[in-house]
Amino acid sequence: MKSTKWREKLKKAQGYDPTKPTEPVLKVLKVPTCPPKRETLPVFSEVLGEKVYFTGANTPTDGIDGVVYSYEELKTIVELKPTPHELRLLHYAKVAFDGPISKEEH
């Protein structure tokens, strides 16, 4: 299955232990069908241990001191259903590469 290749690669790279149970992080979260207009929502993530920001379409992000996730990124993350460990890896990758999270495989 194409959408789970990244998950397998991360598990191998991070020394995944199949004996430890993992729970999806975003099992209750529902993303609205249309993105909010020009809004920024600050959220403290217990999994990440920091505040992140969710933004609507065409929202200016100048002056925001933190990691900003767009509506499309949030939607992608919810669809991936990452475990807490996988969510942290996605977050660290976003910060390290200073780019968006998407479902595209390269």
Q: Is the pTM of this model over 0.95?
A: no
Which two tokens mark 80? 């991936």
Q: How far apart are CA 21 and CA 2, in angstroms?
A: 23
Q: What is the pLDDT of residues 17-54, one digit of tens each?
A: 555 555 544 444 455 555 556 678 888 888 898 999 98
Q: What is the pLDDT of residues 52-99, one digit of tens each?
A: 998 887 788 888 888 999 888 988 998 888 999 999 999 999 999 988
Which two tokens mark 58? 């065409």
The DSSP string of 58-106 is T---TT--SEEEEHHHHHHHHHH---HHHHHHHHHHHHHHT----S---
